Amino acid sequence: MCQGELSRGATKFSELGAGAVLSPNSQRAMQLIDPRIFEGFQRRAAFGVDPPDENGIFPWMTMTKGQSLDIGEPVMQWNHEIRGSTIHRAHFLDELAELIEPNHAHFGKSVTKISENGDDNPIILNFKDGTTAEADLVIELVPDHGTTLGWSIWEMPPAPTYYKGRVAIMGDAAHASTSYQDAGAGQTIEDSLVMERLLGKYFDPEREKVHALDTVETTHLIFQAFGTVRRHRSQKFQTTSSETGRILTGAEPGVSMKAADMSKRMDGRQDWMWNYDQEMQVKDAMLIFEEVEWSRARNAANSSA
Ligand SMILES: Cc1cc2nc3c(=O)[nH]c(=O)nc-3n(C[C@H](O)[C@H](O)[C@H](O)COP(=O)(O)OP(=O)(O)OC[C@H]3O[C@@H](n4cnc5c(N)ncnc54)[C@H](O)[C@@H]3O)c2cc1C
């Protein structure tokens, strides 16, 4: 989620000076990946100062019409039981960097090429500095274009798949979106949760001892399960984010620039995204993996009987 140079010279991420709103679903995903990530977020985030209402609900985002004829009329009011907050990206990255075990990350590297030459060979990564590395699987977080070029905001068309062979994409590389719902990083954190749980469970050496799939088959199945659960949600977000942009700029057919009209279309627009059962998403992905794994084991047993 960082932009600009990665360096760990001794050990440092660098980042553009922008802030990010990390929505309630992003915060829950952080907690589920590792409570220490959420603790770091809480240490560095700036929290809204408005008190909650009588039901304990905090205001998050308020938008009013800035143009005549109905200037000052409400367009949008998003609220949540979690207090609204924003964080400077560099501060968040500092907290993440603290959690990386030494020798588990190499900074200041720029990938120029990824080559997969058959399942029996490792994937080769070429770097700009002339060095290479070998990998069993690769997860790309680098959009083919960066999402911001000058003041243009770009989005990707819906990708038909999030993996090919042993190379998967996630984050903006998979579903770069417009920024009208302040949630692209949140989708990236949700991706990380699902991928982290799948990799952790199915590459656990104890489990590998009793299951028949090899590294390549396990990788394919993890990526398949990941893509199946993540594509729908992240691409729905791309679609609604674009639509939000069109509504707020008067470009959505059938929605006038009257505050009341825009407000009707903005109402509840974030609910599905903010209030989501993330554990269920992980369970769904694991179910997909295990159903295929089980049917392969059954077929293998039948054919050897
Ligand atoms: C104006 C704007 C405002 C936004 N506001 C919000 C917000 O408030 N809340 C929110 O949730 N989201 C927001 N987003 C979206 C959010 O910034 C992205 O969705 C998020 O940064 C995606 O994270 P990522 O890790 O996938 O990609 P990135 O953050 O783009 O990270 C990719 C990294 O890969 C590095 N890299 C590039 N090429 C190579 C290479 N060849 N080799 C090695 N490394 C490379 C890059 O330097 C970068 O560090 C906003 C986006 C924009 C444009």
pLDDT of residue 144: 55
Q: How many residues does the chain have?
A: 305
pLDDT at 5 over 70: no
pLDDT at 6 over 90: no
CB-based contact 163:226 (threshold 8 Å):
yes
CA of 173 to the centre of ligand 1 (A): 9
CA distances for 21 relative to 64, 85, 87, angstroms: 19, 6, 6
Confidence of residue 8 (pLDDT cuts 50, 70, 90): very low
List the helix and strand counts (H, then E) for the chain.
10, 15
Look at residues 281, 157, 154, 293 and name the one whose alpha carbon lies nearest to residue 226.
Answer: 281
Whole-prediction pTM value?
A: 0.92
Q: Which of 58-62, 89-93, 148-152, 281-285 has the lowest mean pLDDT?
A: 148-152
Name the residue with the closest Cα to ligand 1, atom 46. 3
Say how many C-beta atoms besides its own lie within 10 A of residue 276's C-beta.
16
**Is 4 close to ligand 1, i.e. is its CB under 6 Å away?**
yes
Does the bond joining 69 to the residue before it have cis omega, within 30 degrees of 0? yes
**Is 25 close to ligand 1, i.e. is its CB under 6 Å away?**
no
- How far apart CA 22 and CA 183 sit, in angstroms, is 7
- How far apart CA 197 and CA 192 sit, in angstroms, is 8
pLDDT at 224 over 90: yes
Domain segments of the chain as ranges? 6-300
pLDDT of residue 12: 60
Tell me: domain 6-300, CATH 3.40.50.300, correct?
no
Q: Residue holding tokens 């907290």?
A: 95
Ligand 1, pocket-test mutation among 156, 182, 187, 230, most atoms within 8 A of CB: 182
**Is 260 close to ligand 1, i.e. is its CB under 6 Å away?**
no
Mean pLDDT of 207-227: 90
Q: Which of 4-18, 92-106, 200-214, 218-232 has the lowest mean pLDDT?
A: 4-18
- How far apart CA 8 and CA 254 sit, in angstroms, is 51
DSSP 249: T
